[in-house]
Structure 1
Amino acid sequence: MPRPPASGASGRRSATDASLRQRVAALEAELGYRSQETQRRFRNMLGMIRAIIRQTGEDVATLEDYRAQIEGRIGSFTRVQSLLLADYEGGMDLFTLVADEVLLAGLGGGAIECHGESAQLSAAAASLFALLMHELVHLVASDPMVTSDYPLATISREISDREKGRFLCIHWQQRGRDRSEEPSRISFGWIEDSLVYELGAVIERQQRKEGLCRSYAIPLETALISAC
């Protein structure tokens, strides 16, 4: 007759089986989360792409302008989405978004001067700031009154303690211009509205002699990946 397994071996096997079941359950939960998160992000992506198409149609007057605008906007948005979908727990570096847009606009190094430590934006913040940086850099690159002296604009970030909590504050200042009038068309007001609605941002808008100035204050819990 075969000998029964020793009680010690049986206990170890039971413990191993329990550990495997826990790992399988954890993997199933993770896969379920990723599936739900993928569906949610795709819904958000489709909603934003529809908004881009609708807004671009309102912002331009010719088919050629429409094609150029929509290619740039959707390109900026989808590049970020592809990176975010590849890393569910990660975010996007703020200054990387700026550098990518500077490169795509054909501007040289140093065109946009960055100050402060960079910020790892949450997925929601990165999606909107990718579009916003595209618009701001494009505004600088296409401004006929801009000078050839770099930097053409500066962007800085800081953490600020306010009455309602801690905020990520991002400041943009266009440079090299010599007029105080607002540009004839600001085509990214809808993106700023989305920052307010989706992230709880507080926006200060100014037009200085040097050019367009914007300050965006976003609650840390919606702005940064480390605070989510």
Structure 2
Amino acid sequence: MWLLMPTLGMFSILVIPLLGLATGFIVGVIQVKAKIPSFILTLSVLVIYSGLTGTISGGISRSVRGYEFITMRLIPYIPTAFLWTIPIIIAAVFIMKYTKIGIYLYAIGSNEEGARLAGINVDKYKILAFTISGLFTGIGSVIYFQNQGGSVPVVLNLNTMVWPLVAIVLGGTPLTGGSGGPQKTILGALTFTVLFRGLTLSFIDPTMIQLITGLLLIASIVASSRGSKGVMIT
């Protein structure tokens, strides 16, 4: 997606979220038809995009201009990228708590077979969930890369894959599905960010921070899974 920014200019602000939406839809269809576990499938797509961007770019970062309105400070001491995420968070919470889509997704996450027997079109709503997730990912990519001041190829590292999981389970959303929500994930992300920044500013060795992150992930999974009777989303 990063390559579209300098090529399409401001128009890429619309194109990139749509590309994310299309990717989410395709991934959803593959998951529903091939029954591939969601985690494995999305991780595979991450690896594919990483290789694709690296091949096209040759591993070279590219500066992008013309998006200053996204990154310029509107309120002192508050990153503008954070302000741009507020309407996204509100939209996600509204969808999950106050619409039929959210109610059905909670039901599917809690007991997929039970939801199917209740008359819910499970395949349809799983594809819709992937599609919405892809759209939000596209929007987030625009905000993130412009906040960095340029576009770089996707680089896979341990943090890329582990930190989102820590934020999710630390916020109280079990990997078994059926409960949780966007607002909890945001709280988990903020908590982990404060913890990580604190450890970094305390000059803790990076390898020790990784150790603490791993232990925190295990502890969060155990805590969030206690009493959960849902089934793993696949």
Same fold? TM cut 0.5:
no
Relative contact order, CA 8 A, sep 6+: which one is greater? 2
Q: Which has the higher strand share?
A: 1
Structure ID, larger Rg: 1
